[in-house]
């Protein structure tokens, strides 16, 4: 009887272990920890957001034991803010002027401000760059009237900015044969002679412009001082930016405008997690600079330049710890 009872206990033990192994328990084994799966929305292929965002995702995944970040292409600034605001993604790259419009209910957000996002900080200067085929005769914004022009992807900061810049030059999209396209796609069309000009908000140097210049003679479209002053009066976010001679084979310095690319996050992410994201991001600036040229601009000293919307508490904690003077209006 004792022998039979012992056998029953053994079978019961085997059965319970088997059921436990098949229970679907997803807790990591061997003392591991469950990683936070995060997504960063970037921009179209061929643009700076796409390349740098991928490098950022790799750095976070490399140095944070509790995080796995995936980079996702997108339509850039407007779409990034909307997707972070809706909670579809946790992180996004966007122009600071677009974020300001969203927070204060202007432009695409007229009467319906987006307030479900928070800032982490500045990434690099956003440079508005127009490139034209040399045989198109385009040298200035005024020259694009009647031409075949790519104005940026639908839902992008580039498209919003193109519309604003063209308006200050006395033009609208209807004055040209325009199309919405990512810089990479538009660059391919320029190389094939299907477009005369292409505009994008990109880091300098932009790989897509270098790609066009490798097979076509090009002109970098200048925004002169008169046009800049009109833009600046209406949009105080912008500054003048000098593209040095030789950057794209241009024989002379070319003036254009810039704002800032910044990193935004959903407000419901854990404070300690965002603290670590902020810390790793700024303390990995050298590595990011090696991965993409725009990464060389990442700096704690300029992290809050042009940030006008509230910071995530985790980012704020890091800045205060580093002795950064944080304006009250974004705390």
| CATH code for the domain in which residue 194 is found | 3.40.190.10
pLDDT over 70 (residue 21): no
CA distance 196 to 262: 30
The reply to whether 27 falls in a domain is no
In this prediction, residue 249 has a pLDDT band, given cuts at 50, 70 and 90, of very high
64 and 135 belong to one structural domain:
no
For the whole prediction, is pTM greater than 0.85? Answer: no
131 and 227 belong to one structural domain:
yes
130 and 214 belong to one structural domain:
yes
130 and 114 belong to one structural domain:
no
In this prediction, residue 203 has a pLDDT band, given cuts at 50, 70 and 90, of confident
In this prediction, residue 34 has a pLDDT band, given cuts at 50, 70 and 90, of confident
Specify the range with the lowest mean pLDDT, choosing from 56-60, 61-65, 93-97: 93-97
Does residue 46 contact residue 208 with C-beta atoms inside 8 Å?
yes
CA distance 158 to 76: 8
pLDDT over 90 (residue 86): yes
In degrees and rounded to multiples of 5, residue 266 shows phi and psi of: -70, 140
The reply to whether 14 falls in a domain is no
In degrees and rounded to multiples of 5, residue 12 shows phi and psi of: -65, -40
pLDDT over 80 (residue 71): yes
The reply to whether 220 falls in a domain is yes
Percent of the chain with pLDDT strictly greater than 90: 73
272 and 246 belong to one structural domain:
no
Angle of CA points 104, 107, 108, to nearest 5°: 100
241 and 133 belong to one structural domain:
yes
119 and 133 belong to one structural domain:
no
Tokens standing for residue 10: 């053994």
> In the listed set 259, 280, 301, which residue is the last one of a domain according to the structure?
259
153 and 164 belong to one structural domain:
yes
The reply to whether 10 falls in a domain is no
> In the listed set 239, 259, 279, which residue is the last one of a domain according to the structure?
259
> In the listed set 259, 283, 316, which residue is the last one of a domain according to the structure?
259
Q: b or e along 180-189 (b: 16 or more beta carbons within 10 Å of the residue's beta carbon)? A: bbbbbbbbbb
CA distance 158 to 153: 7
The reply to whether 112 falls in a domain is yes
Does residue 331 contact residue 316 with C-beta atoms inside 8 Å?
yes
How many structural domains is the chain composed of?
A: 2
pLDDT over 80 (residue 8): no
141 and 116 belong to one structural domain:
no
pLDDT over 60 (residue 280): yes
The reply to whether 23 falls in a domain is no
Tell me, what's the pLDDT at 33? 62
pLDDT over 80 (residue 51): yes
Tell me, what's the pLDDT at 211? 93
The reply to whether 276 falls in a domain is yes
pLDDT over 80 (residue 32): no
Provide the residue range defining the domain that includes 308. Answer: 37-124+261-330
In this prediction, residue 81 has a pLDDT band, given cuts at 50, 70 and 90, of very high
Tell me: cis bond preceding 100? Omega within 30 of 0 counts. Answer: no
277 and 233 belong to one structural domain:
no
180 and 251 belong to one structural domain:
yes
Tell me, what's the pLDDT at 108? 86
143 and 204 belong to one structural domain:
yes
pLDDT over 60 (residue 29): no
In this prediction, residue 173 has a pLDDT band, given cuts at 50, 70 and 90, of very high
The reply to whether 154 falls in a domain is yes
């Amino acid at each position: 009887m004792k022998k039979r009872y012992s056998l029953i206990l053994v079978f019961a033990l085997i059965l319970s272990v088997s059921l436990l192994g098949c229970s679907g328990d997803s807790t990591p084994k061997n003392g591991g920890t469950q990683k936070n799966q995060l997504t960063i929305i970037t921009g179209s292929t061929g643009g700076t957001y796409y390349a740098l965002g991928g490098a950022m995702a790799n750095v976070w995944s490399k140095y944070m034991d509790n995080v796995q970040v995936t980079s996702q292409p997108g339509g850039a600034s407007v779409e990034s803010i909307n997707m972070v605001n809706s909670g579809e993604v946790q992180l996004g790259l966007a122009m600071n002027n677009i974020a300001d419009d969203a927070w204060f209910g202007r432009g695409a957000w007229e009467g319906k401000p987006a307030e479900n996002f928070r800032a982490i900080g500045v990434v690099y200067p956003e440079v508005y760059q127009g490139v034209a085929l040399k045989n198109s005769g385009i040298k200035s914004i005024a020259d694009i009237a009647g031409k075949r022009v790519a104005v940026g992807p639908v839902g992008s900061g580039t498209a919003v900015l193109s519309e604003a810049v063209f308006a200050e030059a006395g033009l609208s999209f209807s004055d040209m044969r325009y199309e919405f396209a990512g810089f990479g796609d538009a660059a391919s069309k320029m190389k094939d002679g299907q477009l005369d000009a292409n505009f994008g908000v990109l880091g300098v140097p932009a790989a897509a412009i270098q790609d066009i210049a490798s097979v076509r003679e090009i002109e970098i479209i200048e925004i002169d001082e008169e046009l800049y002053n009109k833009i600046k009066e209406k949009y105080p976010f912008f500054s003048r930016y000098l593209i040095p001679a030789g950057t794209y084979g241009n024989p002379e310095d070319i003036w254009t405008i810039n704002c800032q690319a910044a990193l935004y996050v959903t407000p419901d992410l854990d404070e300690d997690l965002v603290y670590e994201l902020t810390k790793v991001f700024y303390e990995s600036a050298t590595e990011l600079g090696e991965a993409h040229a725009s990464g060389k601009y990442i700096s704690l000293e300029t992290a809050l330049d042009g940030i006008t919307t509230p910071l995530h508490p985790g980012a704020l904690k890091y800045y205060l710890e580093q002795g950064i003077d944080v304006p009250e209006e974004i705390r």
